[in-house]
């Protein structure tokens, strides 16, 4: 079935970090049936630095949170023991770091692992159960990804 949200040739890939903390990733494998990606927002937390003598609360920037990205995939029930949903669940349990890249250029010829349109490094944070929205007719599931 053609993907209704992305142009033909859209490619999503996932690669596992080879050694924890190395920042190098193994061979990427293609993720099938990507339907949607939610944008993530970076947020800044603030630390309270108010002194007892201050009459106003004072805060300073402390830590940056790179956010969480949500990917939606069309469910494929062929070979449930080895399909992509099962693979995501296995990866989630493994607690490994991954790099997910998506190229939405419209042709496979322009995709390479060094210049994708979007790229995220981090950890799988959730894998949802397949469901159907009330305004849709496609069985899909969501995968949460905590950007590191």
pTM of the model: 0.77
In a domain, 61, yes or no: yes
Other Cβ atoms less than 10 A from the Cβ of 131: the count is: 11
Q: Is residue 77 in some structural domain?
A: yes
Tokens 């300073």 belong to residue: 60
d(CA 57, CA 48): 7
User: Is residue 5 a part of any domain in this protein?
Assistant: no
Beta strands in 51-139 (DSSP E): 59-65, 68-74, 97-103, 118-127
pLDDT greater than 90 at residue 8:
no
- pLDDT band, residue 105 (cuts 50/70/90): low
**pLDDT of 132 higher than 70:** yes
Q: How many CA atoms lie within 13 A of 8 on its CB side?
A: 2
Q: Is residue 2 part of a domain?
A: no
CATH number at residue 135: 4.10.410
Q: Is the pLDDT of residue 62 over 70?
A: yes
Residue 6 within any structural domain of the chain:
no
Structural domain total, the chain? 1
Domain ranges, residue 21: 11-43+51-147
């Amino acid at each position: 079935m053609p993907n209704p949200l992305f142009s033909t040739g859209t490619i999503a890939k996932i690669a596992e970090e080879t050694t924890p903390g190395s920042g190098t990733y193994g061979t990427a494998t293609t993720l099938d049936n990507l339907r949607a990606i939610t944008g993530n927002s970076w947020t800044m937390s603030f630390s309270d630095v108010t002194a007892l003598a201050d009459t106003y609360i004072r805060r300073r920037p402390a830590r940056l949170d790179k956010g969480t990205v949500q990917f939606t995939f069309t469910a494929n029930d062929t070979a449930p023991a080895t399909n992509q949903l099962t693979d995501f669940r296995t990866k989630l349990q493994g607690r490994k770091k991954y790099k997910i890249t998506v190229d939405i250029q419209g042709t496979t010829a322009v995709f390479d692992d060094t210049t994708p349109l979007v790229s995220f490094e981090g950890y799988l944070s959730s894998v949802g159960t397949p469901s159907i929205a009330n305004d849709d007719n496609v069985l899909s599931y969501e995968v949460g990804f905590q950007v590191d």
